[in-house]
Amino acid sequence: MNQPKPMANRPSTLNADTYWVHLLKDMVHSGEAAKIGPYAFAVYMVIKAHTNANGTAFPSVPTIAEKSGMSVPQVKRQLKILTEAGFLSNLRPTNGTRNIYALREKVHIQGGGEGAVASWDYIPAKMGDTLAELKNILLTGNPGTTNIHIENLQINLNMGNATNVNGVTIEERIKALRDALKPKN
Structure confidence at residue 162 (pLDDT): 55
Residues in the chain: 185
Handedness of CA 57, 62, 64, 67 (dihedral sign): negative
Domains in the chain: boundaries: 26-154
Q: What is the CATH number of domain 26-154?
A: 1.10.10.10
Burial class (CB in 10 A: 0-12, 13-18, 19+), 138: middle
Structure confidence at residue 154 (pLDDT): 61
Structure confidence at residue 20 (pLDDT): 76
Q: Specify whether the CB–CB gap between 141 and 155 falls below 8 A.
A: yes
pLDDT along the chain (185 residues), means of 10: 63 72 88 96 95 91 96 96 93 71 88 75 88 82 73 60 58 67 58
Structure confidence at residue 60 (pLDDT): 92
